[in-house]
Amino acid sequence: MISRKIILFLLLSPVFTRGAQPDNKPDSVHIKKIFEIGETVRKEYAPDKRTAIFQVNTDSTGNVTVETTEPKAVEKLSALMKEKFINATFSINLLPAKSLGEQLFGLVNVSVANIRSNPKNAAELATQTLLGTPLDILKKDGYYYLVRTPDGYISWLDAGAIIFKTALEMEDWKKKDKLIFVDDYGHAFISPDTKSQRISDLVMGDILVNAGKEKGFFKVTYPDGRKGFVAQNQVKDYDKWIKKPAPTPQQMIEIAKTMIGVPYLWGGTSVKGVDCSGFTKTAFFMNGVVIPRDASQQVLVGEPVSVLKSDTLNLDAALKNLKPGDLIFFAGGKNRSPHARVTHVAMYLGNGEFIHAAGQVRINSMRPEAANYDDFETRTVVAARRYIGNIGTAGITPIAKHPAYQPN
């Protein structure tokens, strides 16, 4: 990885060419070319704004600013600018921002944190993340921080939900003895007694540091140092949990069915509420696997399963080829092209049935004669993917091998 100094030198060193402006600020023609080049670079290095940032901006005075999470994109932009004989002085904001100092990491400090599309309370819920989840901190805007979750999703989280860490502090946390909460819901208490004052609520997937046992409870430590007690039967040893063998279809379905009845929530990824891809993401996470966040990202990884004929669902092929635990992807409307925009995902159970979040987590069937077929006819199947048996391939990462969770 090239250093920030080298990047600044590459882009800020003037390239004196024909047509250069005396103050080294581009005119409108050059600005248009700069944006065209920037778009070329963005498509190569940051095609999905949910997981990578590359933005070229200019103000009314002609000052050009580049903000990105991708150092190699800056190198490519500089090379193309020189190749096109465009002279301009740039301001480079390479994320994580230098103003953050050494606290470039964080841990979620609430049971379920709401991550938003913009840095304000009224912004759309983009996704959620759970207590003890490690975060990359990218920049600050008022009370909000731009963060990147272990599944690569980039969006805004309020400061009150984050405990900030240096690289060394984060490495220390990764090495600690931890527990994962495996019950649906629960609480931590100030003493080993369920009638004592509560510290906070807890949900399936929350991670806490193990500080010992006492009277049928584990003593736990929160990211901010709070101490509490959690019933032993609601948690598992984190290290043993992540080192278990790759999940079987039965284990995946077992977790999925525990969420039946959980209400649909756009952006939700917890048992408090899930959207369609938040549901599948949670089912895999509770089996020790990190997968992409959104349905349109989940369809890009895993092994393709043949369920279509002439771009239309072939029920016989689907019933023959699909296996329990496979993911089925749907497009909105009547667009049956394999390139249609994926808007929904479900998990196959077998015998034509699938489980998904639609209004609430529920089971439907793709068989027309089935009593629970009604919802299926309003959706258009465009793809299916097999993750089980392909864990460890691109985009399907065991927590035991995930750099966000494991020590360097």
Mapping DSSP to helix (H, G, I), strand (E, B) and coil, where does residue 145 land? strand
Selected catalytic residue, list 187, 339, 356, 402: 356
- DSSP string spanning 220-249? EE-TTS-EEEEEGGGEEEHHHHHTSPPPPH
Any idea which residue has 């952006």 for tokens? 267
Known catalytic membership, residue 30: no
Cβ neighbours, 10 Å, residue 96 = 17
Q: What is the secondary structure of 296-310 as a DSSP string? A: HHHTTSSEE---EET
> In angstroms, rounded to a whole number, what is the distance separating the alpha carbons of residues 352 and 367?
6
Are 41 and 77 in contact by the 8 Å Cβ rule? The answer is yes
Q: How far is CA 366 from CA 130, 149, 245, 340, in A?
A: 33, 34, 31, 20
Q: Which of 284, 367, 373, 377 is nearest to 330 (CA)?
A: 377
**Active-site residue flag, 276:** yes
Cα–Cα dist 233/238, whole Å: 14
| Distance (Å, whole) CA 284 – CA 275 | 14
Please confirm, yes or no, whether 402 is among the known catalytic residues.
no
Which of 30, 276, 339, 402 does the annotation list as catalytic? 276
Question: Which residue, among 89, 386, 112, 119, has the nearest Cα to 249 in the 3D structure?
Answer: 386
Smallest CA-to-CA distance from 386 within 299, 287, 292, 283 is with 299
In angstroms, the CA 401 to CA 256 distance is: 23
Are the beta carbons of 283 and 255 closer than 8 angstroms? yes
Angle between helices 276-285 and 249-258 (to 10 degrees): 120
User: Which of 145, 127, 129, 126 lies closest to 137, judged by CA?
Assistant: 145
Neighbouring CB atoms inside 10 A of 395's CB total: 16
Joined together, the tokens standing for residue 144 give 């909000």
User: Which residues are 130's β-sheet partners?
Assistant: 112
| Cis peptide leading into residue 96 (ω within 30°) | yes
Q: Which residues are catalytic?
A: 276, 344, 356
